[in-house]
Structure 1
């Protein structure tokens, strides 16, 4: 099973292609990479973005890396994006993603994905079981336009990452299946990235929550998986040096049983910015070793 790493652990640390490319290949021992837009902001000026795209292509080739995809990252995720209550902000978020696609195409990265957005919370703090239909219809229309932008940029696929939040969409298997039907026939295929810290969130899905309903319910619409160590309580994104409820061998076996052996698995872990660099690198290195054994 293909194994790669999301560059989330590099944020505010190994910030340039010359730094992270060597690190991934020589220290962590992987060759499949998922860029995070926490390292490159699509809002930067075009001249700067064009230069960074060239650097990524050069360093990836130099170190024998495959640039599989790019995900929006935590900085952009912190905004309400395509579901912000102000349509002007939604327009900006859509334009930001179109610029992200342009950059990815220039850098030789064929896929871009991430969560899509979040509606605003109610004043009373109560959360509904579904976002308003008007917001959903607007989101689908924007996804169709974004597929056209991605195709124009030379991409091959776009990805949605379901999250365990009622304010975001989709957060259930049924919602994800409905969305897949509503964007069928778009200029590019929309597929799903599932995350072990999202589908297992027991406060939302109840005791016994797990990934099996997602794998069985979405099937080949799943194109990749994010793996992390977590406690099934919150979306932890711990590495595998910490105790938790995700067993790498069992996780990979479950994915294989559902016919998804070709879908790459990406280690996606986050660290406090105050943590020392040596322990971060050690945690990623040891986690990658455990996952390599599981994926063999």
Structure 2
């Protein structure tokens, strides 16, 4: 069965934060029925009652538009932080608790998958081998904690997103494959990857390893969900798929689908558009570009 086309609603941050508004845009303007909810669109800092109220509003808005939230994912705010690799232990624990609240929200909305960016080393910690190793071991313990928590809550997957920076572990195919063996030892929700086609651009990797399709082939059996963005391969662009970006971009639907078809035991169930238009871009143009991206992937996927 072909993967489901879905969209991360992080594009709506600051512009269309109301669930009723972004749900209507996804269903009516974009023509997509499957949503990945970005944590940038919710407030995890309040009480349990506040969290439940947000979940109820999101469920109602999605039901009204005939769409579903299949997963919940960390957003730009989380990616801007060190999270589970923060230099301060208190901040690492705060990140752990934040993601547990995200899992609670995920359950309340009815999604079965939670995931995101798990951490970034500070420069000082990354350059200290002993400190780097100690934090890596602690990070694995925190991820195992999250997997257990997610499993007890009834989730199917906890996804860890590989990143394009050496300090943002894991950021190479070898590191990902090494982690996969550790995932098998974790109890609870299945721990897997969310591969992003724009993240194969770590500049210190050999050029052959900066091929997004090589990553897709190597990790498809470990990635039930794949993030889609247009990129020139030289940076983590998160461009929309427009005529302009497609003319210089290296991500194409046929190549993605062909790679998955040839991959051994692909586990990919969702292809999720994750595009971040510039905040200064004109609002209607943003919608036009995202809508054209959705049409592009539907047309190419169905051809």
TM-score > 0.5 by shorter chain: yes
1:129 Cα deviation (Å)?
Answer: 9.4
1:255 to 250, 260, 279: 260
Alignment of 1:78-227 (within 5 A): 78-122=80-124, 132-184=132-184, 185-199=186-200, 201=201, 203-208=203-208, 209-227=210-228
Contact preservation (8 Å) 1:127, 1:166: no
Root mean square deviation of aligned Cα: 2.0
Deviations along 1:75-118, one digit per CA (max 9) or x if unpaired, are 01111000011111101100110111011111112111111101
Structure 2 counterpart of 1:61, from 63, 88, 104? 63
- Tell me, yes or no, if the aligned pair for 1:232 and 1:245 is still in contact at 8 Å: yes
How has the CA–CA distance of structure 1 residues 117 and 261 changed in structure 2, closer, same or farther, with 3 Å as cutoff?
closer
Corresponding position: 1:270 with 2:276:
yes
1:205-244: CA deviation from partner (whole Å, max 9, x where unpaired)? 3334213332333342111111111111110000011242
> CA offset at residue 46 of structure 1?
2.2
Provide the rounded CA distance (Å) in 2 between the counterparts of 1:150 and 1:29. 31
CA contact (8 A) 1:38 1:74 kept: yes
Partner Cα separation in structure 2 for residue 41 and residue 204 of structure 1: 37
Question: 1:289 — aligned with what?
Answer: 295
Any stretches of 5+ residues in structure 1 without a counterpart? Answer: none
State whether residues 228 and 274 of structure 2, in contact with CA within 8 Å, keep that contact through their aligned partners in structure 1.
yes
Partners of 2:230 and 2:238 within 8 A in 1: yes
Which deviations, in whole Å up to 9, do the C-alpha atoms of 1:162-221 show, x marking residues without a partner?
00111111111121122121132321111111111102x162333342133323333421
Q: Gaps spanning 5+ residues in structure 2: where?
A: none
What are the superposed Cα offsets for residues 230-274 of structure 1, whole Å, 9 maximum, x if unpaired?
Answer: 111110000011242222322222222215375210111001222
> What secondary structure, in the 3-state scheme, does the structure 2 residue paired with 1:204 have?
coil
Q: Contact 2:36–2:73 at 8 Å: present in 1 too? A: yes
Describe the shift of the 1:266–1:128 C-alpha distance in structure 2 as closer, same or farther (beyond 3 A).
farther
The C-alpha deviation readout for 1:131-165, integer Å capped at 9, x for no partner, is: 82211111111111111221233222100100011
Output the CA distance in 2 between the equivalents of 1:202 and 1:81: 20
Deviating runs (4+, > 4 A) in structure 1? 126-131
* Alpha-carbon distance in structure 2 between the residues aligned to 1:181 and 1:274: 43
Deviation of 1:55 after TM superposition, in Å, equals 1.1
Q: Which residue of 2 aligns with 1:23?
A: 25
The equivalent of 2:43 in structure 1 is: 41
TM-score by length of structure 1 reads 0.93
The total of aligned residue pairs comes to 293
Cα displacement (A) at 1:49: 1.4
